[in-house]
Amino acid sequence: MAIYSMTKETISITISNGGKEKYPAGVSILDVLKDRESAEEVVAARVNGNLTDLNTTLDTSATLEFVTADSKEGMDICRHSASHVMAQAVKELYEDARLGIGPTIEDGFYYDFERSAPFGPDDLEMIEERMRDIIKRDIPFTREEMEKSEALRIFEERDEPYKQELIAGIEDETVSVYRQRDFVDLCRGPHLQSTGRIRAFKLLSTAGAYWKGDEKRKMLQRIYGTAFPTEKALKEYLNRIDEAKKRDHRKLGKELDLFSVEEGVGAGLILWHPRGSMVRGIIEDYWKNEHYKMGYDVIYSPHIAKIDLWNTSGHLDFYKDNMYSPMDVEGQGYVVKPMNCPFHVQVYKGHVRSYRDLPIRYAELGTVYRYERSGVLHGLLRVRGFTQDDAHIFCTPDQLGVEIKGVLNFTLYILRSFGFNEYAVYLSTRPDKHVGTEENWDRAEAALKSALEDSAIEYAVDPGEGVFYGPKIDIKIKDVLGRAWQCSTIQVDFNLPERFDVEYRGADGGFHRPIMVHRALMGSLERFFGCLIEHYGGAFPVWLAPVQVSLLTVTGRCDNYAEEICAGLRESGIRAETDTRNEKLGFKIREAQMSKVPYMAVIGDKEVANKTLSIRSRDGRSVPEMPIDGLIDLVQKENRPIGGGPR
C-alpha cells in the first residue's frame, strides 16, 4: 500500500472485499487503487453505489467498489469510451461531420453523425485506422462540469447543433463534458482514464437513423462498433457474428424456399411457401393437441370488428398508433384487429358463467395486424401481419396462483419441445399509472413470483415495468449462439374484465369480476419460426423438417422403385420426395445437403435388385444399407418433439 502524509484530515475508505483503510481527504480513487493486484483490470468505481471515473477524488469517508473491465458495467464503459474515440476520429477525418449521440448497446456501441456524403467500407477502414492512432496517443479522458450556458457556447462555437439541442433539453443547470485534448463531447460518463486503455475494438456496419427516432427529423448516419477487454474476446464475438450471418433467417428462408416478402404484396406481410407452410402446419397441429390436453378450448375469431369494440377495450385510447385506419362498411366503422383478446371476452360473455365453470381457457392461433414503420421491419421478426399463439384464462382470484403456475410450466414444456432450454426471465411489477386495486396487484405479483420460485426459475425483477392493466412475466429464449429472443409472455389483466363488465356468479349467489390472464407461449408463429431457423441454422430436427427423406436415383432405371418407396414412406407418415432428374448423383446429393434434408436414400441398380436403400445422414453419421422398413423405423424414432419433460 502507498504511504500518505496524514497531516490533512483523514477519511475512512471501506473497500469492497478489502476491508477499511485511512486516507487523507482529497485522495483520488487511482491513489487508493495503487499497488493492488487488480489495478490493471479496474476501469471505474462505485462510490457509495454511484458509478464514477477513477480520477474522482474523495473528500469524505465512503464505501468503494472497483469495476473491472470484464464486468457488464466495465465493458459498457470501455465501449462508451470507444464510441467517443470513434467520434474524435470522424471529426479529425471529416470536417463537415456533426455529432449526434453515441451510446452503448448490447454487445457494442454506435454513434450518429450528420454528413453530406455517406460512409462506405473504405471510410470505416480509415476511421478504424485513425482510432488506432488516437488509442496509441493515450489521450486522457478529462471530465468537466459547467453551466449550461457555457456548454452551449462551446458547442455553438464548434457548430454542433445536435449537442446544443440536447443541452437545451436538460433540466439541470449544470452539465458535464469530456475532453480528449481538442475533442469535446457532452456526456455524463464515466470513461476510462485514457484512450490507451481501449484494448480491442472493431467497427461493424453503417445504417440510417432519424434524429431522436423521429421520421420527421433529419436522417443521420449511424456507425456501429464493438469493443472488448481482450483481442481473444473480440475474436470470439466476431466469429459469433459470422455464424449469425450464416444463420440469418432471411438468407436461409430464401435458400430453403420457406417464405418470402414480395413488394407487390407489401412490406411486413409474409408469404409462406410450401416447405415453410409444412413446418408451420406441424407446429400448429402440435400446439393444438397439447392445448387440448391442458384443458384449453380452441376458438377462432374474425380479422375485423366494429370500431365500437376497440373503443370499449381501450385500444383506441392506448394503442391507436399501432392500428390501421378504420374502413367503412355500410356506414359502420370497422378496424382490422391488432389483438385477439376482445373477441375472447365476447365468447365468454355469450353465457352466464358460474364459479363452477371457472377457470375457462380459450386459445387461438389468431392473425393480427399492427402498423409498424418500414424502418423497423425485419424479416419474420418484425412484421405487420402475424399469427399469435394466443390464449386467455378467466379465473377467480383464488385460482390465479394455480393458473399462472400451470401456464409457466406449460410454456417451458413447449419451448423445450422445440429445443430451447435456456431462458432469461423477467418479472415486471406495477407502474406508477395503473388500473385495479392495490389488493389485486399484490395478489397478482405474488402469484407470478410464487410460480417462478416454485418452478426454481431464476429471474430478474423489472420494477414498474408492468403494463398499466397488470404485472407480467416475460421469457426470452436463448438460441444456440446465446442470443435472447423475446417470445413468451404471461400477463395478468384487471382492465378488460372491468371495461367489458365481465362477471361470474359466485358461491354466494352474487356476481363477481373474474381475473383475466393473457399468455403467449411462442409469441407469434412468424417470429418463433424465424428463431427456429436461426437456432438450427435451417437444419430442423427430424420432426420439424419439411422433407425428412430424399430419394436420389442413380439412373432412370431406378425411377419406378424410387416412386414405390416414396409412396410407402408417405403412407407411414414420413415426408418424402424423389429426385429422379437426369443429373449426376453428386449433384443431387449436394442439392439435398443444401436443402438440409435429414436423410438421403441413394437408389441404384444394386438397391433395386436387393430391395434395399443406401442411406446418407445429414450429420454424416454412418448408416448401414437397409430395407424400407428399416428406414421407416429409423425416421419414426426421431419423428417426435425433442424435449418437453413434465408439464
Say whether pLDDT at 320 is over 90: no
- The verdict on whether 388 is a catalytic residue reads yes
Walk across the sheet containing 549-553 and list its strands: 576-579, 549-553, 599-603, 614-617
Q: Tell me which of 191, 291, 344, 370 is the catalytic residue.
A: 370
Q: Residue 1: which pLDDT band, with cuts at 50, 70 and 90?
A: very low
* Closest CA relative to residue 490, chosen from 410, 433, 416, 430: 410
Say whether pLDDT at 46 is over 60: yes
pLDDT at 75: 95
* CA–CA separation, 367 and 381 (whole Å): 15
- The verdict on whether 80 is a catalytic residue reads no
Q: Tell me which of 388, 399, 491, 548 is the catalytic residue.
A: 388
Average pLDDT in the chain: 92
Q: In this structure, what DSSP letter does residue 49 have?
A: T
Q: Residue 444: which pLDDT band, with cuts at 50, 70 and 90?
A: confident
Least confident range from 34-43, 173-182, 558-567: namely: 34-43
With contact defined as beta carbons under 8 Å apart, do 236 and 244 qualify?
no
* CA–CA separation, 443 and 512 (whole Å): 16
Least confident range from 125-129, 545-549, 601-605, 643-647: namely: 643-647
Helix, coil or strand: residue 209 = strand
Q: pLDDT over 70 for what percent of the chain? A: 97
At 386-398, the pLDDT tens digits run 999 999 999 999 9
* CA–CA separation, 514 and 397 (whole Å): 7
* Closest CA relative to residue 258, chosen from 590, 575, 547, 523: 547
Helix, coil or strand: residue 412 = helix
- The verdict on whether 389 is a catalytic residue reads no
- The verdict on whether 535 is a catalytic residue reads no
At 175-229, the pLDDT tens digits run 999 999 999 999 999 999 999 999 999 999 999 999 998 888 999 999 999 999 9
At 146-172, the pLDDT tens digits run 999 999 999 999 999 999 999 999 999
With contact defined as beta carbons under 8 Å apart, do 366 and 236 qualify?
no
Say whether pLDDT at 2 is over 50: no
At 336-346, the pLDDT tens digits run 999 999 999 99
Contacts within 8 Å (CB) and 24+ apart, 621-625: 623/599
At 96-113, the pLDDT tens digits run 999 999 999 989 999 999
Residue 568 CA to chain centroid, in angstroms? 43
Q: Residue 35: which pLDDT band, with cuts at 50, 70 and 90?
A: low
Q: Which domains does the chain have, with CATH numbers?
A: 10-68 (3.10.20.30), 72-246 (3.30.980.10), 259-301+340-536 (3.30.930.10), 549-638 (3.40.50.800)
- The verdict on whether 531 is a catalytic residue reads no
* CA–CA separation, 250 and 407 (whole Å): 31
- The verdict on whether 341 is a catalytic residue reads yes
Q: Tell me which of 79, 98, 249, 392 is the catalytic residue.
A: 392
pLDDT at 298: 97
With contact defined as beta carbons under 8 Å apart, do 586 and 565 qualify?
no
Q: Residue 645: which pLDDT band, with cuts at 50, 70 and 90?
A: low
- The verdict on whether 472 is a catalytic residue reads yes
Contacts within 8 Å (CB) and 24+ apart, 102-109: 102/185, 104/76, 104/79, 104/80, 107/226, 107/237, 108/79, 108/204, 108/224, 108/225, 108/226, 108/227, 109/79, 109/80, 109/82, 109/83, 109/224, 109/225, 109/226, 109/227
* Closest CA relative to residue 601, chosen from 640, 558, 642, 641: 558
Say whether pLDDT at 115 is over 80: yes
Q: Tell me which of 112, 389, 390, 474 is the catalytic residue.
A: 390
Supply 226's cell numbers: 464493438
Q: Tell me which of 78, 341, 395, 531 is the catalytic residue.
A: 341
pLDDT at 647: 55
Q: Residue 439: which pLDDT band, with cuts at 50, 70 and 90?
A: confident
Query: What is the pTM (predicted TM-score) of this model?
Result: 0.84
CB atoms under 10 Å from CB of 338, counted, come to 18
At 598-641, the pLDDT tens digits run 999 999 999 999 999 999 999 888 788 999 999 999 999 999 99
At 511-561, the pLDDT tens digits run 999 999 999 999 999 999 999 999 999 999 999 999 999 999 999 999 999
Burial class (CB in 10 A: 0-12, 13-18, 19+), 239: exposed
With contact defined as beta carbons under 8 Å apart, do 64 and 16 qualify?
yes
Q: Tell me which of 130, 280, 472, 535 is the catalytic residue.
A: 472
Of 479 and 353, the one with more pLDDT? 353
